[in-house]
C-alpha cells in the first residue's frame, strides 16, 4: 500500500510511476531499514530519486522512438 501511495504522490507531481526492480530489492530494503530503524531518510530518498530519474530517462527514450516511428509512417 505504501508504494502505491508513493506512486500517487509522484504522479500528482508529474513524475512517472516507479517500480522497484527485483534486482534492486536488497538496496531498497537496506534503504528502507535505514529510514525506519536509524531515522535516516537520506538513503531511502536517494534510492527513490535514482529510480525516478531512471524511469524519466526510459520514458524519454520511449517517446523519441515513438516519434521516430510516427515520422517514418507519415513520410
Structural domain range at position 65: 2-74
Q: What is the mean pLDDT of residues 46-72?
A: 77
User: In terms of pLDDT, which residue wins out, 63 or 74?
Assistant: 74
- Based on the structure, what is the number of domains in the chain? 1
Q: What is the mean pLDDT of residues 32-40?
A: 93
Contacts of 56 (CB under 8 A, 6+ apart): 15, 16
Contact call for residues 64 and 23 (beta carbons, < 8 A): no
In this prediction, residue 21 carries a pLDDT of 92
The band of 50, judged by pLDDT with boundaries at 50, 70 and 90, is very high
Q: What is the mean pLDDT of residues 45-50?
A: 94
Distance from chain centroid for Cα 23: 14
* pLDDT score of 28 more than 90: yes
CA dist 69 and 15 (Å) reads: 25
Amino acid at each position: 500500500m505504501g508504494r502505491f501511495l508513493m506512486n500517487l504522490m509522484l504522479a500528482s507531481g508529474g513524475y512517472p510511476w516507479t517500480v522497484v526492480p527485483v534486482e534492486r530489492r536488497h538496496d531498497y530494503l537496506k534503504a528502507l531499514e535505514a529510514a525506519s530503524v536509524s531515522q535516516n531518510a537520506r538513503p531511502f530518498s536517494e534510492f527513490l530519486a535514482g529510480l525516478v530519474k531512471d524511469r524519466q530517462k526510459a520514458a524519454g527514450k520511449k517517446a523519441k522512438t515513438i516519434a521516430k516511428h510516427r515520422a517514418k509512417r507519415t513520410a
